[in-house]
């Protein structure tokens, strides 16, 4: 297959028809999205979240040793992220993914986002590979709590058992929860069509899900500004940023207001 860097109209039309047809005949559709989706397509507050904080890079902060060394500082960073996300709205890419789910009978979203913006846009069936900044986990007994308060009343937050709570996210060097991984792999193996959104921003194992789906017989549409290592295997490569390409694949329902669930 040959690729062109421009977004060819015939390829977009082909992909849009395949997506619509698959949704209409209740085929299984899986969307995979990277954490970049928010930073790039999101409002300015979210783009700030990708920047260094107190001269520390995200990879120095999302780290179990950093938490052990200074839990309060790591919590301050997450509290800051939670505030930025709370001030932001889901972007058009988030909203379109939610609208496809509202229309398709069999749909699942697998995401590396931890900010919950997909859910705020109306996505319901979401596999959060790397956890969520809106959940906390007891460092002692592993109990998980949802806590959406902004700001948090005390940092670092403590569990009812008195021990430290940590963000329920996957940090560097930590393994993904097996049941979450199984769910993602199962969705990839059983889908008819996969939308791989922002593939260059994906990390393993999410980055291999498009190939898993392809090997299992699915059609895979890649949406990414630049060609990737998996582009050669895709049925269609739509070069562009997700918030530019997705509205051409699936025109956004202008009646639906941002941040609200589309229910059907
Ligand atoms: Zn506890």
Stated pTM of the model: 0.91
pLDDT digits (tens, 9 = 90+) for 67-103: 999 999 999 999 999 999 999 899 999 999 999 999 9
- pLDDT confidence band for 264 (50 / 70 / 90): very low
Q: Lowest-pLDDT range, 36-40, 89-93, 215-219, 237-241?
A: 36-40
Task: Tell me if 1-41+90-130+176-252 shares its fold with 43-88+131-169.
Answer: no
φ/ψ of residue 32, rounded to 5: -115, 125
CB distance 210 to 233 below 8 Å: yes
CA of 144 to the centre of ligand 1 (A): 9
Q: How far is the CA of 63 from the centre of ligand 1 (A)?
A: 21
**Position 260 confidence tier, pLDDT thresholds 50, 70, 90:** very low
**Where does the pLDDT of residue 118 fall: very low under 50, low under 70, confident under 90, or very high at 90 and above?**
very high
| DSSP conformational letter for 237 | E
Cα of 131 to ligand 1 centre, how many Å? 18
- Residue 141 C-alpha to ligand 1 middle, in angstroms? 5
What's the CATH code, domain 1-41+90-130+176-252? 3.40.50.1220
How far apart are the CA of 69 and the centre of ligand 1, in A?
20
Span from the CA of 137 to the centroid of ligand 1 (angstroms): 8
Q: What's the CA-to-centroid distance between 165 and ligand 1, angstroms?
A: 7
Q: Where are the domains of the chain?
A: 1-41+90-130+176-252, 43-88+131-169
What is the homologous superfamily of the domain 43-88+131-169 according to CATH?
SIR2/SIRT2 'Small Domain' (3.30.1600.10)
- pLDDT of residue 112 exceeding 70, the answer is yes
Query: Cα of 60 to ligand 1 centre, how many Å?
Result: 26
| Mean of per-residue pLDDT scores for the chain | 90
């Amino acid at each position: 297959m040959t690729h062109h860097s421009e977004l060819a109209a015939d390829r977009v039309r082909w992909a849009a028809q395949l997506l619509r047809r698959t949704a209409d005949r209740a085929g299984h559709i899986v969307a995979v999205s990277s954490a970049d989706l928010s930073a790039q397509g999101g409002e300015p507050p979210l783009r700030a979240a990708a920047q260094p904080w107190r001269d520390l890079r995200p990879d120095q902060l999302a780290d179990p040793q950093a938490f052990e060394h200074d839990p309060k500082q790591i919590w301050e960073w997450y509290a800051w992220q939670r505030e930025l996300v709370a001030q932001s709205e889901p972007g058009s890419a988030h909203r379109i993914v939610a609208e496809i789910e509202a229309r398709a009978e069999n749909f699942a979203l697998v995401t590396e986002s931890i900010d919950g913006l997909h859910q705020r846009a109306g996505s319901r069936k979401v596999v959060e590979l790397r956890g969520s900044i809106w959940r906390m986990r007891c460092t002692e007994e592993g109990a998980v709590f949802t806590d959406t308060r902004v700001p948090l009343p005390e940092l670092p937050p403590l569990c009812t058992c008195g021990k430290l709570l940590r963000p329920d996210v996957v940090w560097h060097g930590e393994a993904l929860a097996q049941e979450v991984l199984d769910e993602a792999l199962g969705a990839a193996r059983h889908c008819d069509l996969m939308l791989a959104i922002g593939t260059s921003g994906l990390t393993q194992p999410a980055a291999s899900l498009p190939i898993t789906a392809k090997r299992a017989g699915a059609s895979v549409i890649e949406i990414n500004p630049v060609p990737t290592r998996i582009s050669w295997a895709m049925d269609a490569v739509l070069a562009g940023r997700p918030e530019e390409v997705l509205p051409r694949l699936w025109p956004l329902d202008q009646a639906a207001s941002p941040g609200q669930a589309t229910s059907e």
